[in-house]
Every structure is written in C-alpha cells, then in structure tokens.
Structure 1
Amino acid sequence: MRFTSETTTSTGVSEGRFVLDGIPGVLWSPADAFGPRPLILLGHGGGQHKCAPGLLARAHRYVTEFGFAAAAIDAPGHGDRPRTAQDERFAVQLRNGMAAGEPVGELIAQDNAVRAAQAVPEWQATLNALQSLDRIGADGPVGYWGVSLGSMIGMPLVAAEPRITAAVLGLVGYDILTDAASRLTVPVQFLLQWDDEIVPRAAGLALFDAIASPEKTLHANSGRHVDLPRFEMGSAERFFARHLVDNAVTTGAR
C-alpha cells in the first residue's frame, strides 16, 4: 500500500489517498490515531466512486463521532480506474434502456456480478494492508456498508470474509446473490426502497428472506432507488456502534 497524499480537515479527520496493486482508495481516520480501532469498509454505488459525497459524509461521521476508521476503494471501471470497452458498452445499453423505459435490473445485475468477482479479492487485499497500519491494527472489528453495487460486491465479500462482523446492505434483489445471502452469519441491516424502479419489491424481499444471519433487520422506506432517506445514515451509525464498539480495543483508540 502506497499513500500518495494525506491531508487533515479542520474537524480532525485525516484523509489518506493510497494505491494498492493499481487499486485506488482512501482511508479516513482520526488525525492523532494510534492503536486498534473499528474499521468501516464503504462500498460505493454504480456510477459513483470512492469519494462520492454520500460516502465522504459517512466516513467523516464515523471518524468524528465514534473514533472509527473508514476506507473506500474504486470499484472496477469506476472513479480513477480505467474503463474497458465492455464498460462503455454497458453504459450505452443502460442509458438507452432507461431512456426507453425498459426494465434494466437484469442488465445491471449481470454487469455488477462481473465487477463483484474482481472486487471481492481486491477488498480482501485492501483489508490485509489496512490492518497492518498502526492506526487500525489487526485486532479491531470490521464492518461493511454498501448498497446497490456496494451490495453486489459486499454480500459475497461479507460471506467470504470472517473479519467482517456486521454489515449494512440493500437496494438489491437479484437471484445471483441468493447463494451469498445463504452464507451470511453476521448481523445485517438490509435497506429496501418500496418503489424501487430498478429492483422489484418482491425480489428485494426474497433476498432478505434468503439471508441466513440469525440477526437481520429490514428497513423499508417509500421512494425510488436513489431516494434512500438521510435518517438511514444515523440508523447505520447506531447499528455499527452497537455491534462493533463493544468488541473494540478502546485503550489508546483515539
């Protein structure tokens, strides 16, 4: 992991941009951080990037309100990563389909599944590198937050990665995720938009039903795919505080 820049905000948030094997990412942590602390992995949505406004706001809240660290990487074909010819074809197909009022959920699912197969090992390598840093440590608990594309990547990642002990997922409902859902065992908070024009309501509910975690909670809100209420940010914070803080090593954590 090579850090390319590091800045500190007036609120005491250190933002370190890094590259790991060609994967660009960013780490947010308290400016004076030393010692183990909870780490939240943030997965951005389709068409977004590691510093999208919503992710940036979440990261700063986790740092300033809880003393956590947070990290995000660009998904394949997003942000500062190169776009392939297939990426360009998908963008055209998606744009044309939406303009024509056609269902695009299956098209998005197929594309996102390919990206997830690449991104899961990238996230695991990133987690290895992050936990080698003194400001995070190898013993702190890890959570994952990601919806839409962030869940297409996050659900198989959480299923495969025992270091992640709590997850906020949602805005997905594709059959391709059923196997990963059946292998989840950690606490899960699942977000569903009742009027989602991309993910049919029944599909989202079926995927929630397939999640095997003994502790799972469904948060269903009115609105379309991008209308996730702002108050769900606070709900996710309380969820992670409940499941990660009790397991954190607090000595010297701030």
Structure 2
Amino acid sequence: MRFISRTSSDGVTEQLFILGEIPGVLWTPEDAAGARPLILMGHGGGQHKKAPGIVARARRFVTEGGFAVVAVDAPNHGDRPKTEEFAEVVARLRAGMAAGEDVAPHLATMHTFLAGHAVPEWQAVLTAVQELDVVGAGPVGYFGMSMGCGLGVPFVAAEPRVRAAVLGLLGVDGLAEAAARVTVPVRFLLQWDDDKVPRAQGLALFDALGSADKTLHANPGDHGEIPEFETGSSLRFFARHLG
C-alpha cells in the first residue's frame, strides 16, 4: 500500500493510496492512534471512491462513530482503465434501457462480471488496511448501495472478517446464491418508489439473505432519495454490532 496524499480538516484525516492497481482512500479521525472498527464502503455504478455521498457518509462515520472508513474505485470505475469487455456489457445495458426492457438481467450480468475482480480486491485492501496501526485487526463492517450492494453481497458472503453489513437499492437477480451465504447482521435499505429497481426485486433480495438478524428499512422516494436520517441509523447499527 502506497500513500500518495494526506490532508486533514474538521477532525478527519483523508489519505489517498494505491494498492497494486487499486486506487483508494482512507478516512480516520485526525491524530487517531490505536485500533478501531473499520467500515468498507462500496460506491454505486458510474461513481467512484470520492463520490459526494461516499465522502459525506464516511466523514460522519469518522467524526460521530470514531470509525476508520475505506473506499476504492471499483473495477472499470473512477481512476481505473475501462476494458473493452466492460464497455460491451455497459452497451448492452444501455441498449436494454433504451428499448424499455427489464434491465435487471443486464445489471446482474454487469455486477457478476465486476464482482469476479472486486471481491479479491476488497479482501486484499482489507488485509493491507488492517496492518496499519491506526486501524488494526479490529471488527469490520461493509456499506454498499446499488452497485455497491451488487458487489458487496458476494464479498460479505466470502469474507469472514466482515461482521455486519448495510446493503440495499438492488434486486435479487444474480445474487440469490450469494445472499443465502450472508449470515452476519444486515440492515437493508429499500426505496418504495425506486425508479430503477422494482420493489418486488428488492424485497426478494432481502428475503434471500441468510442472516437471522436482518432488518428492512423502506422509505418513500426513488432510487437516489435515501433519507439522510438513514446515515445516522446505519452508524448506530455499526456501533452496536462492531463496538
């Protein structure tokens, strides 16, 4: 892990890093010392590690919860190169949207393609970050909406170090098998009037999760209108399960 910049403001230290070919960012309390819980934060499709929603949520988790938070550019996103194979997957998705088709199968294909790279990358990033003195090998949580959920479900299913997850804004297509292997406590967010994910698909994904401890939070509004109070609720969820 090679750090390439460090800035601090309003009680939060932000460090950009590169691990192999993976660009990422780590937020920690300013002048923090010693181990602490870590939240891995997955961004949505077409976004990147420092999308406004990611940054705002990460800073709240740091200042109000004392967590460390890390985000990375997903494969073919942000500062990472785009492959021809990914461009073809996206082209089929956009063509389906333009034709008024059900895009859930196209999204599932894209997320499955990306997850094959993203899951081992998240595992490598987690290992590297936990070697830092300011983070340590403490409890780990995962937060991911939309594509962050699509990549997060197989990651959480495969990674025993993750002890709690906040997921949502996605349907069950392509994720049922991995969801059944998720057994950690889950907070699942669903927008009741989601214009991208049919309500029944989101409810089916919640139902498919294998966790005995899972809670569904449904709010009115479309895909991008998660209420701000859900950030505070997620923070308390992680504090409860990660200590």
AA of the residue aligned to 2:178 = A
Question: Is 2:19 aligned against 1:16?
Answer: no
Aligned equivalents of 2:17, 2:35: Cα separation in 1? 20
Once the two structures are superposed, residues 195-217 of structure 1 have per-residue CA deviations (whole angstroms, 9 ceiling, x without a partner) of 22322211211121111111100
The match for 1:101 is 100
The match for 2:165 is 167
* Secondary structure in structure 2 of the residue aligned to 1:150: helix
Unpaired stretches in structure 1, ≥5 consecutive residues: 246-254
Q: Is this contact kept in 2: 1:17–1:27, CA < 8 A?
A: yes
Aligned equivalents of 1:193, 1:49: Cα separation in 2? 22
RMSD (CA atoms) = 1.3
* Secondary structure in structure 1 of the residue aligned to 2:115: helix
Aligned equivalents of 1:102, 1:225: Cα separation in 2? 18
* Secondary structure in structure 1 of the residue aligned to 2:77: coil
- Which residues in structure 2 correspond to 1:172-183 (within 5 Å)? 172-183=170-181
AA of the residue aligned to 1:168 = V
The match for 1:59 is 58
The TM-score with structure 2 as length reference comes to 0.95
Once the two structures are superposed, residues 175-220 of structure 1 have per-residue CA deviations (whole angstroms, 9 ceiling, x without a partner) of 3211111111111001112222322211211121111111100011
Q: Is this contact kept in 1: 2:49–2:73, CA < 8 A?
A: yes
Offset at 1:151? Answer: 0.8
Q: Which of 66-75 and 221-230 deviates more? A: 221-230
The match for 2:127 is 128
Q: Is this contact kept in 2: 1:103–1:198, CA < 8 A?
A: no
Q: Is this contact kept in 1: 2:139–2:163, CA < 8 A?
A: yes
Q: Is this contact kept in 2: 1:188–1:215, CA < 8 A?
A: yes
The match for 2:112 is 113
* Secondary structure in structure 2 of the residue aligned to 1:196: coil
The match for 1:199 is 197
Aligned equivalents of 1:211, 1:156: Cα separation in 2? 11
Offset at 1:100? Answer: 4.1
- Which residues in structure 2 correspond to 1:104-253 (within 5 Å)? 104-138=103-137, 140-245=138-243
AA of the residue aligned to 2:110 = D
* Secondary structure in structure 1 of the residue aligned to 2:23: strand
Aligned residue pairs total 243
AA of the residue aligned to 1:219 = H
Offset at 1:89? Answer: 3.0
AA of the residue aligned to 1:171 = L
The match for 1:4 is 4
Q: Which of 87-96 and 54-63 deviates more? A: 87-96
Give the percent of matched residue pairs that are identical in Structure 1 and Structure 2.
63
Q: Which of 88-97 and 69-78 deviates more? A: 88-97
Q: Which of 116-125 and 233-242 deviates more? A: 233-242
Q: Quick one: higher RCO (CA 8 Å, sep 6+), 1 or 2?
A: 1
* Secondary structure in structure 1 of the residue aligned to 2:183: coil
Q: Is this contact kept in 2: 1:197–1:225, CA < 8 A?
A: yes
Q: Is this contact kept in 1: 2:192–2:219, CA < 8 A?
A: yes
The match for 1:249 is none
Q: Is this contact kept in 1: 2:191–2:225, CA < 8 A?
A: yes
